[in-house]
Amino acid sequence: MATAWLNKVQLVYLPAHTSYKTQPLDHSVFSALKNYFRQATKALASFTASAAVNKRRFLYCYRDASRLGMSARDIISGFRNTDPEAPITVLESQALPARPETPPPKPTTEQGPRC
């Protein structure tokens, strides 16, 4: 921490289990990229069912998927939705439903063996 402070690096500590809510590209880009890439490789697999997907074909699929899934609009949207300067946006989306109460155990009328 001292090294960060000396180099004017601001550290941000995140609450546990919230990093998926605070990663801008996880929100807006990677899920779309993953879907487009899956579609491209699925289409490729149907054309060459007996052949393995080689590196060149893999890269073409990734290139095409990234062109569709990585738009400037989606990237900006991801940063807007996870803005560290506006933490209420992230916290509001983090709200979890109330946990139901566990009912007390039912009393048993049977008496088991006494040891």
Evaluate whether residue 109 is within a structural domain: no
Least confident range of 3-7, 45-49, 65-69: 45-49
Indicate whether 76 belongs to any domain: yes
Q: Is residue 54 part of a domain?
A: yes
Structure tokens at 72: 């400037």
Residue 90 lies in a domain: yes
Cα separation of 82 and 75, whole Å? 11
Burial of 111 (0-12, 13-18, 19+ CB in 10 A): exposed
Digit-coded pLDDT (tens) for 71-88: 888 888 877 777 666 656
Let me know if residue 50 belongs to a domain.
Answer: yes
Model confidence pLDDT, tens digit, residues 88-113 = 655 565 555 566 677 777 877 666 55
Give domain status of residue 31, yes or no.
yes
**What is the residue range of 64's domain?**
17-94
Q: What percent of the chain has pLDDT over 90?
A: 10
- pTM, two decimals, is 0.51
Residue at 9 is within a domain: no
| Alpha-carbon separation of residue 8 from 4, 22, 29 (angstroms) | 6, 22, 30
Q: Is residue 5 part of a domain?
A: no
pLDDT tens digits, residue range 30-43?
Answer: 888 999 999 888 87
Count how many domains the chain has.
1
